[in-house]
Structure 1
């Protein structure tokens, strides 16, 4: 995937979303940042988006109604085979069980422990 032109944050914690958007902007990103506070809302959006813009999705694990793993499984048909999209778990969970489960879902391409920091965003922006 080339460097993202859009970031999507999916996290039920508003304060985390605000902080993570600030880190994305501090990393020098000038493009679109979309924020969803539920996996259900984000999934609805993705179903209507052609997913042609290089996009990085940061996804929280622990959310009500639909957790990050459920989201990833539901989104797999939409994201599989889309080289323009990178899905990364962004979570406060340091659980080895969660990290192992991430490895079992091919559409998830990374695991980052909160908080998201500028250096991690810059690494994502330098992909080519």
Structure 2
């Protein structure tokens, strides 16, 4: 299962308003629910026909990259991609998470800033700041 946001829900609702259906939304030529293998074949064929160099795997990487850029945790990305463990997710996508140096600097600045502010204001208030 993939959770979808309002943009996708609205697009699907508009499609169903135009093409009402009581059955599965995505089907193969026989009207059966569209399975991944068949979807991949159709999607990649359509991309080739359109002259676009995109594979199903590229779309998977795009999805993972967007989740990470949006602040998703390793566990969230692992679950959405269906990886057996977070280790697999990290082996593939660790380079996309924000840098540790930037994050640790930001964390320590946030922790230490309130401690530094009173000292600065006291020093300035007492006239010691020249």
TM over 0.5: no
TM range (shorter): under 0.3
Question: Of the two, which has the highest radius of gyration?
Answer: 2
Higher relative contact order (CA 8 A, sep 6+): 1
